[in-house]
Chains A and B, each alone.
Chain A
Amino acid sequence: MITGRDIRKKYIRNYPSAFCPGCGDGMVLNALSRAVENKDMNKDKITAVSGIGCAAWVPSPYWKVDTLHTTHGRAIPHALGVKVGNRELEVVVVAGDGDCAGIGGNHLIHAARSNLGITVLMINNGLYAMTGGQAGPTTDHGEVTLTTPFGNPAAGLDVAEVVKAAGGSHVARWTTYHMRELIKEIEHAFSTEGFSFIEILSQCPTRTGKKQGLSGVQMLEWYKENTSKDPESDKIFVGRLADETKPELSKDIYDQIRRCGGEPI
């Protein structure tokens, strides 16, 4: 049985944590590392790509694999270059909801449409935390944030449903309360050839918690009480939204090269 200490030694770079006390990002880093360990994957063949924001720090600098820390919202097209460049690599994107579904929303839709064989973990805390707690694409209607002092006049986006509609092979939603399920879901994402998208609802005690008078632990409790694995329930659905086998982009590109008589350089 591998211990937490073993996981830290093998997968986590030894830098002081930039995450606030009670943040969910460290939990995602833990889940990601454990999924790789459980699947006995060769971590030399993993490339983690991220953009800008708190969640982007999960792989870079903390995860001990090849990391590409890119521009705001552009992690997915950089990851596309890595995956199509060398499809032997397991490519993982970790992004916040603003990075992934706001500024990078178009890239997300098209990567799902083309069923690019990467895994995207979108850590959803409902706002732009690093810059002070401004409203994001996932902020609910009426919610008060730094830039919606009178309540959000726009509605929030259900990103997982969008990715499902766009055609990604594997789509799921969990929260940081559901660590065991999350680890299993990431393992399933690694087994999926096509596009895998896991939305992870995650607490931001600094930006949201302080406003609502909730600690990190109380926010986890909130996830427990307000989510359900039953799709018929009125609560937030957690579980798998899609799981289909479809043609994968980089495989098609490599197959076409071979059909044309070439061999990928």
Chain B
Amino acid sequence: MKGPGEYFMEGNEACAEAAMRAGLGLFAGYPITPASEIMNLLCKKLPETGGRFVQLEDEIASMATITGASWTGLKTMTATSGPGFSLMQENLGYAVMTETPCVLVNIQRAGPSTGQATKPGTGDVMQARFGSHGDYEIIALSPNSVQEMYDMTIRAFDLAERYRTPVLLMADAGVGHMREKVKVPDEVKIEGRREPEPGEKEFFHTDRPDHVPPMPKFGDGYELMVTGSTHKGDGTRDTAGYETQDKLVRRLNAKINDNRKDIEDWEEFNCQGADLVVVSYGSISRPARGAVKKAREEGLEVGFFRPKTLWPSPEERMKEIGMDSSVLLVELSLRGYRMEVERCVGVDGVTVYDRINSLPTIDMIYDKIKEVLM
């Protein structure tokens, strides 16, 4: 594991390094391009930090394994890409329902189906939000640099532990395979999960304003009942009752929604009074930012807005931006984030520059900015 200092690293490597720094107790995975570098590194380096590495028969088992292991008190993670992400949806929903902290890294590639395994894409953004069945909310982070691969992996563990929920790191092959300078910080902050106070018996309900119940672990004599069926505060199953379903599912959703202010994160500049705001995320936000800078040098009133949390989305801020400015959404997919931006800004206020397979140049986006402003 790399200590504090400056390094030249690949995005996937930064993710693996950060996970170890976060105290990763167990990694479970299945090989898939373009995410494999994460497991290729962790299998060698994780053991010396005391973490367990397991390679499974498929992504279904990987997701199940990190969920089971989390209940032994460990920080757990898996990493995959599109096809594997699809297979993980079932047990991702299970982790949401059982409030199991874990981190799922998706190095997105061009789909649908097998698509182009080495090419970047962000076509899984809506799947991240809605891919598992039933009513739920999720936290999904979007890095656009190798530094952010490091920092957001740390944050993913922090959020997962604090909110007792799976957290998705929705990177793409562009960021995962990018190489650049990374500063490994002197200290990282991870609050950790809240353990029960003596006498506390409800691990699936709380009246606390953050809606996060305490989480015990297996082997401590709690006679825990963890279930993906609808359950009461003590874990007792209730397969048909209205009140139990209503109370549980509303709290699970409120756990994310009522804590939006703490979770939401974004980068912006020059949005105030801009005629046009370029909204972009992931690797394509790099040339998009370059195009905005170029446009400003040319005297155009263009701002830049980059959601760092795709879910929950920076909804209020995007709505404000939509009041004053038109929006140009620049993304590496046809329908990645478009519906969410349109929902916040208004369908008429959004123009889209979409590109699939590879990154555009700064000039290609700059030309689009000029076209929109004409």
Contacts and interface: CB of A to CB of B under 8 A. Distances in A.
Interface in A77-128: 77-82, 84-86, 88-89, 106-107, 109-110
A55 B286 CA distance: 53
Interface in A151-208: none
B53 A253 contact: yes
Contacts of B221: 44
Contact of A47 (B52, B62, B74, B218): B218
Given A45-B219, A64-B223, A257 B50 contact: yes
A89 to B, nearest CB: 5
A85 B52 contact: yes
Contacts of B228: 69-71
B61 A74 contact: yes
Interface in B55-75: 56-58, 60-62, 64-74
Given A69-B226, A69-B227, A264-B50, A81 B76 contact: yes
B223 A107 contact: no
A54 interface: no
B222 interface: yes
Contact of B218 (A69, A84, A86, A265): A86
B81 to A, nearest CB: 20
B51 interface: yes
A78 B226 CA distance: 12
Contact of A82 (B47, B71, B220, B223): B71
B51 A78 contact: no
Interface stretch (B20-28, B164-172, B332-340): B20-28
Nearest to B26: A85
A65 interface: yes
Interface in A217-265: 253-254, 256-257, 259-265
A77 B68 contact: yes
B225 A69 contact: yes
B236 A61 contact: yes
Nearest to B24: A265
Contacts of B56: 77, 80, 110
Nearest to A72: B90
A66 interface: yes
A106 B220 contact: no
Contact of B54 (A74, A84, A264): A84
B48 A110 contact: no
A81 B74 CA distance: 10
A113 to B, nearest CB: 9
A49 interface: yes
A86 B69 CA distance: 8
Contacts of A84: 26, 52, 54, 65, 69
A110 B57 contact: yes
A71 B224 contact: no
A44 to B, nearest CB: 4
B91 interface: yes
Given A78-B68, A82-B218, A110-B57, A264 B48 contact: no
A180 B48 CA distance: 46
Contact of B68 (A79, A110, A260): A79
Given A70-B67, A74-B60, A110-B57, 10 more contacts: A61-B237, A68-B71, A71-B91, A78-B67, A85-B25, A85-B52, A106-B58, A107-B60, A257-B50, A257-B52
5 contacts: A60-B237, A78-B68, A81-B65, A253-B53, A253-B54
